[in-house]
Structure 1
Amino acid sequence: MTVTVGLGCAQLGNLYRAMTDETAAAIVDAAWLTGVRYFDTAPHYGLGLSERRLGEALRDRPRDEYVLSTKVGRLLAENPAYAGERDTAGFDVPATLVRHRDYSRDGVLRSLESSMTRLGVDRIDIAFVHDAEDYVEEALAGAIPALVELRDQGVLRGIGLGMNFDKVLAEFVRRSDVDTVMVAGRYTLLEQPALDELLPLCEERGVRVMAAGVFNSGILATPTPGTTYNYEQAPAALVERAQRIAEVCGRFGVDLPTAAIAMPARHPAVEAVVLGASSVRQVESNAARAATEVPSALWEALAAEGLLR
């Protein structure tokens, strides 16, 4: 089974470390050459830098040939106290702007208008409400109805939610009319809590799922398991579990990252696996892994050993 891959563009916003504009453009170009036609970004990523770089890299591509998503929930404003500081949210950029959480109707409209300006486009295809786990009622009262209205007017092709919390995503799916969700890190080779409620609910309601964070922020990103999980030092028990998974994968001639990309795509509700990249080489290796056939016997072996649900 070939995996449909989207490019997650947090790295274009200098996630953890800076990259040049040339590298950012080369990453998007490489993704396009491998067949990627879905690109996801957000104002949060590098205080708008990801959106600006992605828009520039896609500027000469036919607009009808790709799907573009961004997110709402964080408005960017000038930082009046800026005195040379760097951003403290994980992006290596100057803190010339500040983020304000805003899940109101007005905030959504302002956010989308600003995003389109940074991207240099006249439309967004999919708008996700971003990281609203602590703002459920505000988003249900403001952001979601505003996005529904834009979708009904034909301004947006789809609306949804993106976060790391599968149970909160399930609550939104139950309580609102969304088309898609982006679940990060909760349906991976290492852990599958999204199977409890979210994925069955999405399958029942026809809500498309984008699986992101499939490497659990690093532990599954290399053939030998890493030590980063959920952006922190991984507990020893999880590293040991990842090592056991890698050993089983090795018996079938499959490396850990290849299995990590392939596993989420097996679920019928999952439409695409969204992968980030900090270099052209990563884009190309992700594409090669996504195109690799993984034997079904691998999943059976992992389940038999209690390593996969």
Structure 2
Amino acid sequence: MHVEHRHLARLMLGASGLGRRAESPGDEAVARATARALVASGRPIDTSNAYASGRSEQLLGRALRELPAAEAADAAARIVTKVDADPQTGRLDRERVLRSADESLSRLGVDRIPLLHLHDPYSITFDEACARGGAIDALVELRDSGVAGAIGIAAGPVPLVARYADIGVFDAVLVHNRWTLVDRSARALFERASLQGMTVFNAAPFGGGLLARGAASGSTYAYRPATEELRRWVARVEALSARHGVTLAAVALQFSLRAPFIHSTIVGASSVRRITTLDDLADAVVPDELWSELAAMPSAPTWIDDDQEERR
């Protein structure tokens, strides 16, 4: 099986933050406007059963229902989602995978998902996932029945994703925060997966905000507070970017877009403004000299422990 061509756009919009805030009617209005902008963008959209406790899918489904039938069908065919463990028990067996998929179909108002990922399988062991009648068998069942057009593995820790990718069942891999200006640890996995014919999705090229907003922003990197040492390194890349007349955000995004082993880069789009500014970042002219100078810089300090991440 192969991931459908409409999901191979170089930029994919991530909906992990959609619906996360629900503190006031104003937040709800912003979330609905963002969902409408996402489905109207013409770009593929990445969401999950667990994002905002299901609100991300609910908002996207509502936005689809507001469109004329033909437009809704086209937009729905661009939405990728993920099966997740039971939020109360952590259960992620065959029954839970099938139920998670049903929940997503219901929220989105569709009867088919073009690409369905196994998401963050941290609550079970690899052997449990691979066991007969386990999570992977359920995903294959969904693909064989046509409910899922293709299946993928999506998580952060590179060693974990590599184990799943290497069994030869999945059509796609998705890793976040491991191919950025700061952390390039996913390269070998991405190269191998691409050579094996899998579709490679790189998520979070801004590291969760630091590489979009800059060293002085106080933003986190990979869901953790950035150390002073890391902020100093990012400030050096900011200065390099400014000398060449481009922004740090443009360089960070294009670092992923220019990698030959990445088919699609997923960028979180939690506002209408973010959606409308991505094209400018993607189309900014980054001189070859900048890439050469960047390659000559010492590696960035990083402290992500993939073994610890897998256990969290």
Q: Normalising by the residue count of structure 2, what TM-score does the alignment of the two structures yield?
A: 0.83
More helix by share: 2
- Structure 1 residue 263 displacement after superposition: 0.8
- Structure 1 residue 224 displacement after superposition: 4.6
**Counterpart position of 1:169:** 161
Unaligned runs of 5+ in 1: 76-97
Give per-residue Cα distances to partners, 1:202-249, cap 9 Å, x unaligned. 122111111111111121121455331222211111111111111112
Q: Is contact 2:143–2:149 with CA below 8 Å preserved after alignment?
A: yes
1:188 counterpart SS class: coil
Q: Percent identity?
A: 35
**Counterpart position of 1:67:** 78
Structure 1, 218-227 or 51-60: larger mean CA deviation? 218-227
Code of the residue aligned with 1:50 in structure 2: it is: S
Change (3 A) 1:262 1:44: same
Within 2, Cα distance between the matches of 1:16 and 1:254? Answer: 35
- Structure 1 residue 175 displacement after superposition: 1.8
- Structure 1 residue 17 displacement after superposition: 7.2
Q: Give the count of matched residue pairs.
A: 282
**Counterpart position of 2:182:** 190
Alignment of 1:68-87 (within 5 A): 68-75=79-86
More strand by share: 1
1:13 counterpart SS class: coil
Alignment of 1:1-309 (within 5 A): 4-14=10-20, 20-32=27-39, 34-36=41-43, 38-59=44-65, 60=67, 61-65=71-75, 66-75=77-86, 98-133=87-122, 135=124, 136-141=126-131, 142-195=134-187, 197-227=188-218, 228-307=220-299
Q: Is contact 1:68–1:125 with CA below 8 Å preserved after alignment?
A: yes
Deviant stretches of 4+, over 6 Å: 16-19
Within 2, Cα distance between the matches of 1:203 and 1:225? Answer: 36
Give per-residue Cα distances to partners, 1:257-280, cap 9 Å, x unaligned. 111111112222312111112321
Code of the residue aligned with 1:123 in structure 2: it is: R
- Structure 1 residue 128 displacement after superposition: 0.9
Within 1, Cα distance between the matches of 2:200 and 2:191? Answer: 11
- Structure 1 residue 283 displacement after superposition: 1.6
Within 1, Cα distance between the matches of 2:123 and 2:237? Answer: 33
Report the aligned-residue RMSD: 2.2
1:221 counterpart SS class: helix
Structure 1, 244-253 or 146-155: larger mean CA deviation? 146-155
Give per-residue Cα distances to partners, 1:77-114, cap 9 Å, x unaligned. xxxxxxxxxxxxxxxxxxxxx53323211111111011
Within 1, Cα distance between the matches of 2:216 and 2:154? Answer: 26
2:18 counterpart SS class: helix
1:254 counterpart SS class: coil
Code of the residue aligned with 1:55 in structure 2: it is: G
